């Protein structure tokens, strides 16, 4: 069994793929497994990966998987998970990169702590600018209860730092069915995933390792595009709310899930000009329907505690007359 499986989906990233491939080589060990998943790219990415797999196989165990159709990031990650053999698992994205030696330090950290998963800070890279973004948990190098890190509802907590590539995960989580993503989600795929981890895993820790470089401003990234795929955040947060409502501690946890959902809706509405006009209309309709689906007691509590601008906007939206598109 490899000590570590690193799952890296790629889709149309020929401009950036070499950066992460070089950084994988700078982190390679004979007991590491690199799983390169091409999600039916339309550019030269598959050819780049095939050549890289041959080169990386000299210093690590490498598997190149070519999907027959594009499924999106969540589905591509699942493809890698289904083939992973490692004791520990790490996710990366095809347009990001790592500092040399980072993976070895990450494995040493999770082995030392003995917990289900660890979370790490990261560096956001926008063109030549760099900024450090930290896990919103103050206690470091200490094993904690993941469920307790969901709250308080009115503050930024660990579930608001959903990035799958910021940490490492023990294989027992995979065996328990906690590491797979919701197939087909094109955005916000990390949200149901991080909530499930924090509700159902038994232990986690935050470690002060800084080795993941997260590239922003990539042309073609869903964060830069206002098409219909962005609306998958509604399906993602519907799942978060539904699963949290079924939890034995729903009364304690639901306000946080609803508050986060409302904050994300308000955020998208504040940037509605970036969406194509038909998508903008669909965003309003689907968001209004989502507000009416939420547990209304929890929603009222959240709206009463939000700032006046966002609360007023969401209350007004909730009163929109339903249309045929509301069920979309």
Q: Where are the domains of the chain?
A: 4-221, 225-322
Give yes or no for a contact between 36 and 65, defined as CB atoms under 8 angstroms apart: yes
Give yes or no for a contact between 123 and 213, defined as CB atoms under 8 angstroms apart: yes
> Is 231 strand, coil or helix?
helix
- Cα dist from 72 to 95, 138, 185, 194, whole Å: 14, 33, 7, 18
Give yes or no for a contact between 3 and 84, defined as CB atoms under 8 angstroms apart: no
113-125 pLDDT tens trace: 999 999 999 999 9
Task: Enter the tokens of residue 299.
Answer: 């929603």
pLDDT over 70 at 92, yes or no? yes
Give yes or no for a contact between 200 and 245, defined as CB atoms under 8 angstroms apart: no
Helix ranges (DSSP H) in the chain: 17-25, 45-56, 73-83, 102-113, 171-175, 190-200, 232-245, 250-270, 277-293, 296-305, 308-318
CA atoms within 13 A on the CB side of 20: 29
Percentage of residues in the chain having pLDDT higher than 70 = 95
Give yes or no for a contact between 131 and 210, defined as CB atoms under 8 angstroms apart: no
In degrees, rounded to 5, the angle at the alpha carbon of residue 184 between the alpha carbons of residues 21 and 14 is 25
What CATH number does the domain located at 4-221 have? Answer: 3.90.550.10
241-295 pLDDT tens trace: 999 999 999 999 999 999 999 999 999 999 999 999 999 999 999 999 999 999 9
């Amino acid at each position: 069994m490899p000590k570590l499986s690193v799952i890296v989906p790629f889709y149309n990233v020929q401009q950036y793929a070499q950066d992460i491939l070089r950084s994988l080589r700078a982190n390679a060990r004979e007991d590491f497994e690199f799983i390169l998943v091409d999600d039916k790219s339309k550019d030269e990415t598959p050819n780049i990966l095939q050549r890289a797999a041959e080169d990386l196989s000299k210093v690590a165990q490498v598997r190149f998987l070519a999907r027959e159709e594009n499924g999106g990031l969540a589905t591509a990650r699942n493809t890698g998970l289904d083939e992973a053999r490692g004791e520990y698992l790490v996710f990366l994205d095809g347009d990001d990169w790592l500092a040399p030696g980072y993976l070895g330090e990450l494995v040493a950290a999770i082995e030392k702590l003995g917990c289900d998963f660890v979370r790490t800070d990261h560096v956001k890279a926008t063109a030549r600018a760099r900024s450090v973004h930290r896990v919103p948990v103050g206690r470091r190098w200490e094993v904690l209860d993941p469920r307790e890190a969901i709250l308080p509802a009115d503050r930024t907590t660990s579930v608001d730092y959903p990035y799958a590539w910021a940490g490492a995960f023990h294989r027992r989580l995979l065996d328990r069915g906690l590491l797979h993503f919701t197939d087909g989600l094109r955005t916000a795929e990390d949200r149901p995933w991080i909530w499930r981890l924090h509700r159902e895993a038994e232990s986690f820790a935050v470690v002060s390792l800084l080795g993941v470089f997260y590239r922003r401003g990539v042309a073609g990234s869903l964060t830069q595009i206002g098409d219909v795929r962005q609306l998958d955040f509604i399906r993602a947060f519907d799942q978060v709310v539904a699963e949290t409502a079924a939890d034995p501690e729903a009364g304690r946890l639901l306000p946080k899930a609803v508050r986060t959902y409302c904050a994300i809706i308000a955020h998208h509405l504040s940037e509605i000009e970036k969406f194509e006009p038909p998508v903008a209309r669909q965003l309003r309709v689907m968001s209004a329907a989502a507000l009416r689906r939420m547990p209304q007691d929890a929603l009222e509590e959240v709206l009463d505690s939000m700032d006046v601008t966002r609360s007023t906007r969401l209350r007004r939206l909730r009163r929109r007359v339903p249309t045929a598109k509301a069920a979309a």
